[in-house]
A and B are shown apart, each in its own frame.
Chain A
Amino acid sequence: MDYTLRENEIMEDSERKQVVVFELADEEYAVDITQSKQIIKVSKITPVPNTPAYVRGVINLRGQIVPVVDLRKRFGINSGTGEKERIITIEYEDMLIGLLVDDIKEVLWYDTEKELESAPEIDTAVRQDYIKGVIKKGKRLIVLIDLEKLLFENRPVSA
């Protein structure tokens, strides 16, 4: 299955924002939906030598070569690869990059004022720098990822 997130789902208003929620080692994480393009099932990923371990490789997405970043490895989380593994492609400054995650949970709205807390109060497996904040939905805690820092701090370049 391969579905593209429809344009009209990407609506935003001043206080409510939408995110794509996914799972990494039984914890819930999210990225801003405006940055995500589509969710695809994992097919063959061609490994790229001389890149950091968290770069799983590249895939062919309709003729375009898209690098895939393994978020578990990026965060240093150890967990097996499961059946439900998916790639969320995100677009950032004209670049299309795939994020490999354990499972896609849902797309949800949150209130930027009432439901978002700053990161330091929460204890997660992920380095604080990569966290924009934590979305609180009742008892659920969803870690909102700072894609820019995650992807471009120490971007993988072999010398």
Chain B
Amino acid sequence: MDNREQYLQMFFDESAEYLQQLNENVLLLEENPDDEEIINAVFRAAHSVKGMSATMGYERLTDLTHRIENILAKVRNKELQINEHIIDTLFSGLDYIKTLLDDIRANGEEVTDVSTYLRKLEEILENGGVIQEPVGADRKAKAGQQDFNAMLTLTEEEKEEIYNKMTGDESVYNIKVILAQDCLLKNVRGYMILKKAQELGYLAKSNPDQREIEDEDFGDSIYIKLVSSLKEKQINQEFADIIDVAEVIIHKEDKQAKVVKEIEKEEKKIQVDNNKKLREGLSNIQVSPTVRVDIKKLDNLMNMVGELLINKTRLEGLNIQSDVYQDIIQQLDRVTQDLHHIVMQIRMVPIGGIFNRFPRMVRDLSKELNKEIDLVIEGADTELDRSLIDELGDPLMHILRNSIDHGIETPEVRKEKGKSPAGTILLRAYQKGSEIIIEVEDDGAGIDTDRVVEKAIQKGVITADDARQMEERDKLNLIFQPGFSTSEEVTDISGRGVGMDVVRNVVEALDGQVFVESELDVGTRFTISLPLTLAITQALMVVINNEVYAIPLSSISETLLISPDEIMQVRGQDVILLRENTIPLVEAARQLNLPVEYGKYKEYEEIPVVIIKSAERLVGLIVDELLNQQEIVIKSLGKYLINIKNISGATIVGDGDVALILDVRNIA
């Protein structure tokens, strides 16, 4: 799937959602025309559709929604009073939006001409929806027009009839013939009027109709809709000449009959299409019904599953010798696992939800900075836990801004370097085992580690001595230090590099990691890795200084029991040799700064070692005892205890006690 298609899918999904909202809210508005909340809701939805359409470059949709938005703005400012006409117009506008979306879906571009509809919207904007009190001579005619709409409502058949009778040069006239107050034999006069109308053209409709006139069942006015090729003035004269006619008000319908015919026909076609689509839509809905659920409810559900799991573990701990017991335990195990899996699935949402904010931002920023940047998005359909999605927006935004601001060079500089003038930023997400990987890669200037070190020394983050001992990778990682800046120029886009430390904090708070790789003049890649789900994981339970700790299996390579003579010394560091790999040993108690005597393990006969994967290398973590492996429910330590070194959370073990979860990633 290429990029454009991915954006398109998001665009379709979101606009369909907004369209649904719009339809619902306009309906509500019809019933509660003064409810500001509804007006605002409609306004916001229209605004959103407009924004999305503009981003995607669909001019007709943008124009259409923009004008709808204008009308709503007027309504909101009380410059316009909601009436039936406005509601109708809004609804047909929504239909047009849908038609245009369908066009795009089917043909890749907007096909349907909406210009006539746009004029309709303009009219509302100009005359305020309500027919204003016209001034002077025009007044009567205008007032008449209002009557005409009410008095001469046409049925579909009648409309069709008019079109069929009409030829190119005819117009539709609405005529009100008022009889004199003292008129006798009204039925005769009425009959004469109708007869005259039939002579002048095609009598489409009259109110009262012929029968009512014969029965003299009417007041002193007769309304007539007439299709005629004659001029307004001639018709007026013809009617005025009839005896006892006091006044004739005549109004020619605005558009050429032919145009009217086309518009109306088109509107009908849309309606038919929509009906057809509605039916198709209904059958689609039945295939995959969905429900929207408050994320809090899902959180609760997840907690309940966690509780269930804890109690299942406790039950297992009883270890009763009975077939029935074993059977129940097995069943329970299966059910809780399935349940957990389902809840996890429910919580998963595509990362596209945050990715789709970026194309526009990149476009705007690059324009502002006079850079040319192509943003390429891959894997927007990669799913991850909803709670992660919400947190990831800002860090990703920041990395992107950094790439745009500091990474990609100006076209001139790029040309000098022999690169194409337009830079590329690749935003990619994919799943790797039980982790989600998000990469932001640019083909820009890269990060100059010498300058990074220079700045770090200048800022007092490190000393010159520190710098000499640093590996290239560690130098690069200095950019994650608080208050660090590499850009000579301070811009309002990524500021003084403030935020890369924040990025790391956020990602680590989500139990994830962020790395940076960079090569001068080739580019920079930021990689964020996150656990697929936060809530439940497999862990190894160990004992350190009489307390039980959990180590997530995802970070364990294997466990060993070694004897003290296997320990060797390399440059003062205890190491073991494992399949020809030298693995440094670290003592868990020391890593945790526990108040115990360090190095006592050398006196043990057997030393339990957990080989952990820490920042892409293996480290042997010495613990006091290896316990069982079990599923644990990860719980946060809460907002009071944040960023505790080497502790990522807690879990509740079988006996109801709390066991801390070791964060081994930064153990060196």
Binding site for B on A (CB under 8 A): 44, 46-51, 55, 57-60, 63-67, 93-97, 151, 155-159
Other than the given A50-B592, A65-B658, A159-B643, 6 more pairs (CB < 8 A) read A55-B641, A64-B635, A67-B641, A95-B638, A95-B639, A151-B640
What are the residues of chain A within 8 A of B642 when measuring CB–CB? Answer: 157
B644→A67 contact, CB < 8 A:
no
B307 within 8 Å of A (CB atoms): yes
Distance in angstroms between the alpha carbons of A19 and B320 in the assembled complex: 49
B593 CB–A CB distance under 8 Å: yes
C-alpha spacing A94/B643, complex, angstroms: 18
* Chain A residue, CB-CB nearest to B642: A157
Among residues of A, the one whose C-beta sits closest to the C-beta of B588 is: A49
**For residue A66, which residues in chain B have a CB less than 8 angstroms away from its CB?**
638
Given A50-B647, A60-B652, A157-B642; A44-B657 close (CB under 8 Å): yes
Is B547 part of the contact surface with A, judged by Cβ < 8 Å? Answer: yes
Interface residues of B in 485-520 (CB under 8 A from A): none
A48 touches B640 (CB 8 A): no
A66 to B638 alpha-carbon distance, docked (Å) = 7
Chain B binding surface, main DSSP class: loop
**Which chain B residues (623-653) contact chain A, with CB distance < 8 Å?**
635-647, 649-650, 652
Contact of A159 among B635, B645, B658 (CB under 8 A): B645
> Which of these, B307, B636, B640, B652, contacts A155 with CB under 8 Å?
B640
Complex formed: what's the CA distance from A51 to B642 in Å? 10
Q: Does B660 sit within 8 A of A, measured CB to CB?
A: yes
Contact status A49-B641, CB under 8 Å: no
Q: A51: which B residues are within 8 A, CB to CB? A: 641, 644
Residue of A nearest to B659 (CB): A46
Are the C-beta atoms of A58 and B637 separated by less than 8 Å? Answer: yes
Closest B residue to A63 using CB positions: B307
Taking CB atoms, residues of chain B closer than 8 Å to A59 are 658
**Residues from chain A with Cβ under 8 Å of B657 in the complex:** 44, 46, 60
Looking at the complex, which one of A50, A55, A60, A94 makes contact with B658 (CB distance below 8 Å)?
Answer: A60
B555 contacts partner chain A, Cβ-Cβ < 8 Å: no
Q: With a CB–CB cut-off of 8 A, which chain B residues contact A60? A: 652, 656-658
- Residues in B with CB closer than 8 Å to A156 are 640-641
Set of chain A residues within 8 Å of B303, measured between Cβ atoms: 63
Q: Is the CB of A48 within 8 A of B641?
A: yes
B16: min CB distance to chain A, Å: 35
List 18 A-B pairs, Cβ < 8 Å: A44-B658, A48-B641, A48-B644, A48-B660, A49-B594, A49-B660, A51-B644, A55-B641, A58-B650, A60-B657, A65-B649, A95-B640, A96-B638, A97-B640, A151-B640, A155-B640, A159-B643, A159-B645
- Interface hits, B292-344 → A, CB 8 Å: 303, 306-307, 310
Q: Give the distance to chain A from B648, nearest Cβ to Cβ, in Å.
A: 12
Could you say which of B310, B636, B657 has the most chain A C-beta atoms within 10 Å of its C-beta? B657
Looking across the interface, which residue of chain B has its beta carbon closest to that of A152? B640
A52–chain B nearest beta-carbon distance, Å: 10
Binary interface profile of B, 38-78, with partner A (CB < 8 Å = 1, else 0)? 00000000000000000000000000000000000000000
Bound CA span A63–B306, Å? 9
CB B15 to nearest CB in A, in angstroms, measures: 36
Q: Which residues of B contact A159 (CB under 8 A)?
A: 643, 645
A46 near B593 with CB under 8 A, answer no
A residues near B650, Cβ cutoff 8 Å: 46, 58, 65
Residue of A nearest to B649 (CB): A65
Nearest residue in A to B639 (C-beta to C-beta)?
A95
Contact between chains at A49 and B658 (CB < 8 Å): no
Collect the chain A residues with CB atoms within 8 Å of residue B644's CB: 48-51, 157-158
With a cutoff of 8 Å between Cβ atoms, the chain A residues found around residue B646 in the complex are 49-50
Q: Which residues of A have CB within 8 Å of B592?
A: 49-50
Contact B658 A58 (CB under 8 A): yes
A65 to B635, CA, bound (A): 7
Minimum CB–CB distance for A40 against chain B, Å: 13
The residue that A50 contacts in the complex, of B307, B593, B638, with Cβ under 8 A, is: B593
Most buried by B among A47, A64, A93: A47
Which residues of the other chain, A, contact B639 by a CB distance below 8 angstroms?
Answer: 93-95
The answer to whether B547 touches A65, judged by C-beta atoms less than 8 angstroms apart, is no
Given A58-B641, A155-B640, A157-B643, A46-B635 contact (CB < 8 Å): no
Contact present for A65 and B638 (CB under 8 Å): yes
Residue of A whose beta carbon sits closest to that of B636: A65
| B552-578 to A contact mask, C-beta < 8 Å, 1/0 | 000000000000000000000000000
A111 CA to B637 CA in the complex, in Å?
37
Q: Are A48 and B647 in contact (CB under 8 A)?
A: yes
